[in-house]
Amino acid sequence: MKRIQTIEWQKNKIKIIDQTKLPQKLLYIYIKDIKTLWQAIKQMKIRGAPALGIAGALGIYLGIKDIEAKNFKEFKERLDKVARYLFACRPTARNLFYGIERMYNVAVGNKDKSVLKIKELILEEAKKMIEEEKDSCYKIASYGARLIKDKDRVLTICNAGILATLDYGTALGIIYKARQEGKRLRVFACETRPLLQGSRLTAWELKQKGIDVTVICDNMAATLMQQGKIDKVITGADRIAANGDVANKIGTYNLAILAKFHRIPFYVAAPITTFDRRIKSGKDIPIEERDKKEVITLLGKIRIAPCNVKVFNPAFDVTPNNLITAIITDKGIIPPKNIRDTLSAKAKGAPRWGHPSD
Amino acid sequence: MKRIQTIEWQKNKIKIIDQTKLPQKLLYIYIKDIKTLWQAIKQMKIRGAPALGIAGALGIYLGIKDIEAKNFKEFKERLDKVARYLFACRPTARNLFYGIERMYNVAVGNKDKSVLKIKELILEEAKKMIEEEKDSCYKIASYGARLIKDKDRVLTICNAGILATLDYGTALGIIYKARQEGKRLRVFACETRPLLQGSRLTAWELKQKGIDVTVICDNMAATLMQQGKIDKVITGADRIAANGDVANKIGTYNLAILAKFHRIPFYVAAPITTFDRRIKSGKDIPIEERDKKEVITLLGKIRIAPCNVKVFNPAFDVTPNNLITAIITDKGIIPPKNIRDTLSAKAKGAPRWGHPSD
């Protein structure tokens, strides 16, 4: 099977899979300016928290690589503008901001160097981040696979696989690793309305990898659990607050309640880069509300409700920490109550992430 | 506003709204043979338990009205065939069987009369049943409206309105009545994948009636409840077992769990004709599983998953009685634990419903 490469730096451009075209077509597109990147992120041609982290990082480089600045002050003015522009694209996923902030900090931390050198360092850092994110996925997968038993039937939502990351995936990475270890598995994929990442992306990706997958509509998960057909729920995350509350694709909170009711373990898989220690609890995570067209049409093509009807279309929801069995990270499997400690330990060794508006 | 007439007997044919064409088009079609009727039920051009009851009753008349039989034995052979044919169309909704059985019993109860007379009596009975079902809806609405407070925000799933009944509706009938009584209301309609009766039918119908309605995807209900935006859940029912377990559109059980978790009252609205005292508990209710195309395509028009993927597509689920606050019927508001008594009281006064296979 050909390798699936969600996002990479190639030919001085950002190369991504246009995920709105799947499962019909595996189409790669090249992005050479940040306006096109912004649109691609907004339209979810690229999505998934870790992949958005890289999009943010490469986006910064794309936005500053051709800047002609006489000094750092001039350079920073332009950098600020690019960072703020990309920051405003989607409000919920932590990693997008992390990627932007990290590149920003490289610039600020090297302000005594030449503009040319700073540009080089930013590209280097983005490439380093790509490798780190890949490594995170492998670690998440290795930790998570320990929880998987032979013949487990795992329910997931949205896409937390290769298409959401640099390689391997978070929730689905665990599936791939468990499978490599010889465990037999069955995955149930919630289709994930309105944009159907579960049926369009997860089912496609799992088929490519030869994993047994069954698609269900989002409202069918409860029945599967009632019938004793689900052993575990594993989802990704878009942002995790300091208290372990998790923002993830709309429908995640629903699954967490169902899992609790049916006494099924509920796991979240995410790299440490998805944690946001500046956010105390889930209540403070900004939730993106998207265009009503996503709900009153089917992928913009068929109208399925009266045009002038009201719509509520939050792209994410917040699952409180008490519904989460554990968060599977690249630093180990963490029960939500221990998240504060993990974040503090990390904070000690790492510089405080800057913020373009700081 | 023009009156919406879901199903009626007109010009010696069954006239129905083709509900697969909504919300784009309000199209009435005439059905003059039972094969076409069978297809219309299967394809859900007509749906909703009470409306299917009438479709079954009128279907029997349609199937026997032109039979040329020398005696009752000959007539009954053909009647058996028609009844069995219609019986096999959809397995879950109680009312379809009730309508068929009731017409069947008219024939058997009048076997000494001429075939011509029996045909007349069947049509009369079907027309009587139409009036009874309308009356049931008004009674359900009147009882249910007592539970509604001013400014209530009600969540519903699928369509339990005019389009599912003869007039007025069950769950939505309560909304209409409460509104007539001057109460201000807001309805949230789950879109109800895969066939989208919530966005296509309920939103359309409520807009026609001037009710404030907001469409959500099925996986967004939990978030609305978390935000304190839902005061009550009211759904219809396709079959109710003797212990008060309720089979209804897939997703209902999910909502019942969410309502329990968020301490929101969960009501089911249905006529007594939806109760099936021969079924002891929900476990014994046969659940229809429908074509995988409904899940891997959007209304048969756009493919949204790999062609060869597995699908689980149950059309209904079963909500256990302990998740139901009360069932709102035409005989009053019944807590699930009292259902057995209500059914026994009814059974005393009424003849046991026959069954074509008895």
Residue in the structure block whose two tokens are 């409206």: B145
Q: Is any Cβ of chain A less than 8 angstroms from the Cβ of B204?
A: yes
pLDDT computed for residue B336 by the predictor: 83
pTM for the full predicted model = 0.94
List, as ranges, residues 125-184 from A with C-beta within 8 Å of B.
157
Q: Please report the number of interchain residue pairs, chain A to chain B, with beta-carbon separation below 8 angstroms.
A: 191
Q: Is any Cβ of chain B less than 8 angstroms from the Cβ of A264?
A: no
Active-site residue, from B167, B238, B245, B330: B238
**Could you give the CA distance from residue B340 to residue A174 in angstroms, rounded to a whole number?**
49
Q: Do A220 and B314 touch (CB under 8 A)?
A: yes
Q: Do B23 and A302 touch (CB under 8 A)?
A: no
**Could you give the CA distance from residue A255 to residue A198 in angstroms, rounded to a whole number?**
14
pLDDT exceeds cutoff 90 at B337: no
Contacts of A306 in chain B (CB under 8 A): 23, 203-204, 207
Contacts of A220 in chain B (CB under 8 A): 250-251, 312-314, 317
Q: In chain B, which segments carry CATH 1.20.120.420?
A: 7-138
Among the partner residues B24, B200, B305, nearest to A199 by beta-carbon distance = B305
pLDDT exceeds cutoff 70 at B346: no
HSE-up of B293 (CA within 13 Å, CB side)? 6
Fold of B146-346: Rossmann fold (3.40.50)
Active site residues of A: 238
pLDDT tens per residue across span A59-102: 999 999 999 999 999 999 999 999 999 999 999 989 999 999 99
Q: Where are the alpha helices (DSSP H) in A31-87?
A: 34-42, 49-64, 72-87
B279-304 average pLDDT score: 94
A312-332 average pLDDT score: 97
Q: Which 3 state secondary structure label does DSSP give B298? A: strand
Which of A254, A255, A261 should one mutate to test binding to chain B, selecting the residue with the greatest count of B CBs within 10 A? A254
**Could you give the CA distance from residue B107 to residue B39 in angstroms, rounded to a whole number?**
25
Q: Do A192 and B216 touch (CB under 8 A)?
A: no
In sequence order, the β-bridge partners of residue A267 are A234, A326
- CB count in 10 Å sphere of residue A32: 11
Q: Is any Cβ of chain A less than 8 angstroms from the Cβ of B313?
A: yes
**pLDDT confidence tier of residue A307, bands split at 50, 70 and 90:** confident
What are the distances in angstroms from CA B255 to CA A105, B196, B262?
Answer: 46, 16, 10
Query: Are A305 and A331 contacting, i.e. CB atoms less than 8 angstroms apart?
Result: no
Tokens representing B222? 């939990």
Q: Which helix (H) or strand (E) holds A329?
A: strand A326-329
Query: Are A28 and A15 contacting, i.e. CB atoms less than 8 angstroms apart?
Result: yes
Contacts of B253 in chain A (CB under 8 A): 222-223, 226
**Could you give the CA distance from residue B275 to residue B241 in angstroms, rounded to a whole number?**
6
Q: Where are the alpha helices (DSSP H) in B171-307?
A: 171-180, 197, 203-208, 221-226, 252-261, 293-296
B28-51 average pLDDT score: 97
Q: What is the ipTM of this complex?
A: 0.94
Among the partner residues A207, A217, A222, nearest to B306 by beta-carbon distance = A207
pLDDT tens per residue across span B215-270: 999 999 999 999 999 999 999 999 999 999 999 999 999 999 999 999 999 999 99
pLDDT exceeds cutoff 60 at B356: no
Architecture of domain A7-138: Up-down Bundle (1.20)
Query: Are A330 and B234 contacting, i.e. CB atoms less than 8 angstroms apart?
Result: no
A256-272 average pLDDT score: 98
pLDDT tens per residue across span B47-82: 999 999 999 999 999 999 999 999 999 999 999 999
Q: Is any Cβ of chain B less than 8 angstroms from the Cβ of A301?
A: yes
Instruction: Say which residues have a Cβ less than 8 Å from residue A235's Cβ, sequence separation at least 6.
Output: A156, A157, A158, A160, A171, A248, A249, A252, A255, A267, A268, A269
pLDDT exceeds cutoff 50 at A330: yes
- Backbone angles phi and psi of A232, in degrees to 5: -150, 150
List, as ranges, residues 54-83 from B with C-beta within 8 Å of A.
none
pLDDT tens per residue across span B128-165: 999 999 999 999 999 999 999 999 999 999 999 999 99
Contacts of B224 in chain A (CB under 8 A): 312
Q: Do A312 and B224 touch (CB under 8 A)?
A: yes
B337-347 average pLDDT score: 72
Nearest to A251 by CA among B154, B222, B321: B222
Tokens representing B54? 């009438």
Q: Is any Cβ of chain B less than 8 angstroms from the Cβ of A233?
A: no
Q: What is the mean pLDDT of chain A?
A: 94
Q: Is any Cβ of chain A less than 8 angstroms from the Cβ of B23?
A: yes
- CB count in 10 Å sphere of residue B185: 21
Contacts of B223 in chain A (CB under 8 A): 250, 253-254, 314, 317
Closest chain A residue to B304, measured at CA:
A200
Which of B209, B220, B298 should one mutate to test binding to chain A, selecting the residue with the greatest count of A CBs within 10 A? B220
A111-121 average pLDDT score: 97
Q: In chain B, which segments carry CATH 3.40.50.10470?
A: 146-346
Among the partner residues B200, B254, B304, nearest to A196 by beta-carbon distance = B304
Query: Are B333 and B326 contacting, i.e. CB atoms less than 8 angstroms apart?
Result: yes
Closest chain B residue to A296, measured at CA:
B199
**Could you give the CA distance from residue A166 to residue B133 in angstroms, rounded to a whole number?**
59
pLDDT exceeds cutoff 50 at B352: no
**Could you give the CA distance from residue A57 to residue A52 in angstroms, rounded to a whole number?**
9
For chain B, the three-class secondary structure string (H helix, E strand, C coil) is: CCCCCCEEEECCEEEEECHHHCCCCCCEEEECCHHHHHHHHHCCCCCCHHHHHHHHHHHHHHHHCCCCCCCHHHHHHHHHHHHHHHHCCCCCCHHHHHHHHHHHHHHHHCCCCCHHHHHHHHHHHHHHHHHHHHHHHHHHHHHHHCCCCCCEEEEECCCCCHHHCCCCCCHHHHHHHHHHCCCCEEEEEECCCCCCHHHHHHHHHHHHCCCEEEEECHHHHHHHHHCCCCCEEEECCCEEECCCCEEEECCHHHHHHHHHHCCCCEEEECCHHHEECCCCCHHHCCCCECCCHHHHEECCCEECCCCCCEECCECEEEECHHHCCEEEECCEEECHHHHHHHHHHHHHHCCCCCCCCC
Contacts of A159 in chain B (CB under 8 A): none
**Could you give the CA distance from residue A100 to residue A86 in angstroms, rounded to a whole number?**
8
Q: Is any Cβ of chain A less than 8 angstroms from the Cβ of B290?
A: no
pLDDT computed for residue A1 by the predictor: 55
Contacts of A157 in chain B (CB under 8 A): 219
Q: Do A200 and B305 touch (CB under 8 A)?
A: yes
